[in-house]
Structure 1
Amino acid sequence: MNKAVLSILVALPLAFVQSLLIAQESFPRTPSGKPDFSGNYDTSSLTPMNRPAEFGDREYYTAEEVKAISDGAANRLAYGDEPLDPDRSAPEAGANVGAYDGFWMNFGDSASAINGNYRTSIITYPENGRMPALTEEGKEKAAMRIPFEWPQEYTKGGAWWLEEPDVHPFDGPENLSLGTRCIYTGVASLPVTSLPYNNIKKVVQTEDYLMIYIEWNHWARIIRINDEEHKHVSHASYDGDSIAWWEGDTLVVETVNILNEAPREVADRRIVERFSRNDDGGIVYGYTVEDANYTDSYSAEVSWRLTDKEPYEFACHEGNHAMAGILA
């Protein structure tokens, strides 16, 4: 073989490796050399939380499937933005009358890419890509929680709470859910999940702290880095107590002392989150939840994409006319 050709074949892999190293080092770092995750991120994703049954044990989408997901999202957005006929007839009794139109929604425009691969589910454990089952006690707690958090969706028919002497979901603001009261939205904060809108997160990092500003409900998580001890359980809060440490270039965050909304109690729950760099410059956000209400732990992984968008001020109280109407 020609020596020049051989040298090119040998050099190509080396050049490729070097380019990867250069790309890796192009990520910003703190003065101590740790990755600096500061920035704004879009955490929306069209990857389903649970793997659809038709995929069986298949872990990744094909390129064609990824394109179909993005195309479908674009088509739905265009359809949702079409003007409505002002002379349309009323929907059938009990039908879904909808909510916001497409302009207000941001489900995402693509599946979640992690180092170039697109999983068929955000859940990575159990291996079937689906959430584990609830325990019997977990089922009882879930049944009790639904009427208090979303009483209008509790399908007993009609004003069911008038027939239950010990249930008073609309007697005062304290009986309404935290979300309705504009206080806290757990699924937006811990662990972070993709939602219909308000998916922008702002991260500010120093050597000793990581702050994640949550757009939905104007919430800020303050995570202590290299603090070896959690606060006493008497300091339990809705987003728990979080401490973090470095494992190489991955920031590991452990959260305990998480306060449940209903029933109001400190949850038997431990959440471990992992923040590392994605190959597109964003964040690979992974987490594992150990929850006594489930028959097994579960893990998930999703990408946070860098964005130049700023989070909106979540002026929920100022516009919360519905709660005042409910209590009137």
Structure 2
Amino acid sequence: MRIDRAALAICLFAVAAMLIAAPAVVAGEEDIPRTASGKPDLTGRYNIASSTPFERPSEFGDELFLTVEEAEEIMERTRAAVARSNAASDPERSAPPAGGDGSPGAAGAVGGYNSFWTDRGSDRFAIDGKFRTSILTDPPNGRMPSLSEAGKARRADLHPYAYENTGSAWWLETGDDPYDGPETLSVLDRCLYLGAAATPARPILYNNLKTITQTEDHVVILVEWMHWAKVVRLNAEHAPPEVRSLGGDPIGWWEGDTLVVETTNFLERPGVAREGLKVVERFTRQSADGLLYEFTVHDPDYTAPYGGEFLWPQTEELNYEYACHEGNYAMGNILRGARLLEREYLEQKGQAGSTGSGDE
């Protein structure tokens, strides 16, 4: 059979051009679930519980990694501690001393919780097969940067939010704000918002589940603790600076296969957020089993930005409603206790019939 060499050359040239123009396939990319438009599909439920500390223990210095042996030893100790805490309590035990016994841990020194009620996680995460000494990677020592002068001043102003309960209505004597009305209690006391669970996210005491729902225009991250929905508008502009909320204004965009989320416009709340706070998060689908989560925080309360990374493993666990606000019996009891102290104070002063602030 006679071959037309000119035609063959043209065919070979065309094939070569197609191969050059074709996008390179990243290793493992074919295993990543994708949407109809080709974007990585982040939809799913994730349990981010981990015993890896947020800040690096000082004994590790600038060392970012643990050896496999070190990680296994730490995880074994953690599991043993959890098992001890989960052991059956002595039914004949006495009540804890007033103010607690000074012991650390989830019990709050007064017997509030044992490990049964918590879900910190016992395992350490490994990225590229290497176990980490901390979630924070920047600064290089894995510890928070020092406070700025503004941060020091802000913390000095926080003391009125931690009044000591002396067992008397001392605020009626001094004229100070008792900080006991439903609108003046913190968003934590009212079970409304927990920044550490949302922006940036980190493993915390319990309720570490996140549920991601994704469309072409929005990504919604449902945070279990406080049942907070973080609605990310894609390819959008931030709201005007005067439009603020507890969780800020998150917008997002794709950089290749990574979803970048930038959150600004946080509502000024003592100990929660402040003007000038900006958080940048990056979500990268690693496989069908989880995400790599990276974050950088620009906070005027600190002398430098800080950031870190950890894994979000996918889970089949369900994200149930966290109805703490609706069932917040503790807040009502805080207010009732304050009214009782006011009544006792006024009775001692011969002024029974009025209870001061009148809340609850």
TM-score range for the pair, normalised by the shorter chain length: 0.7 to 0.9
1:126 match? 139
Q: What SS is found at the alignment partner of 1:286?
A: strand
Amino acid at match of 1:36: D
Q: Are the equivalent residues in 2 in contact too, given 1:114–1:279 (CA < 8 A)?
A: no
Q: Which whole-Å deviations, capped at 9, do the CAs of 1:167-197 have from their partners, x for residues lacking one?
A: 3211x10111111112111111111111110
The letter of the residue matching 1:205 is Q
What residue in structure 1 maps to residue 44 of structure 2?
A: 39
Q: State yes or no: 1:303 paired with 2:308.
A: no
SS in 1 for 2:66: coil
Q: Is the 1:114–1:278 contact (alpha carbons within 8 Å) kept by the matching residues of 2?
A: no
Deviation at 1:55, TM superposition (A): 0.7
Counterpart residue identity of residue 226, structure 1: N
Deviation at residue 278 of structure 1 after TM alignment: 3.0
Which of 287, 300, 307 matches 1:292? 300
Superposed, which structure 2 residues align to 1:1-328 within 5 Å?
Answer: 21=27, 23-94=28-99, 95=101, 96-145=109-158, 147-148=160-161, 151=162, 162=171, 165-170=175-180, 172-227=181-236, 229-262=237-270, 267-278=275-286, 281-328=289-336
Q: Offset of 1:276 from its aligned partner?
A: 0.7
Alpha-carbon offset, residue 164 of structure 1: 5.5
Q: 1:315 to 1:19 in 2, by over 3 A?
A: same
What is the distance in 2 between the residues matched to 1:264 and 1:278?
31
Number of equivalenced pairs: 304
Q: Which runs of 5 or more residues in structure 2 are unaligned?
A: 1-23, 102-108, 337-360
Gaps of 5+ in 1: 1-17
The 3 A distance-change label for structure 1 pair 34 and 146 is farther
Q: Distance in 2 between matches of 1:160 and 1:216?
A: 33
Deviation at 1:147, TM superposition (A): 4.1
Return 279-288 or 31-40, whichever deviates more.
279-288
Q: Is the 8 A contact 1:114 1:303 kept in 2?
A: yes
Q: CA deviation at 1:320?
A: 1.3
Alpha-carbon RMSD across the aligned residues, in angstroms, is 2.4
Q: Which amino acid aligns with 1:136?
A: E
CA positional deviation for 1:252: 0.8
Secondary structure of 2:75's counterpart equals helix
TM-score, length basis structure 2: 0.78
Q: Is the 8 A contact 2:32 2:286 kept in 1?
A: no
Identity in percent: 45
Cα distance in 1 for partners of 2:154, 2:111 equals 29
Give yes or no for contact 1:161–1:169 (8 Å, CA) kept in 2: no
Q: Distance in 2 between matches of 1:161 and 1:185?
A: 30
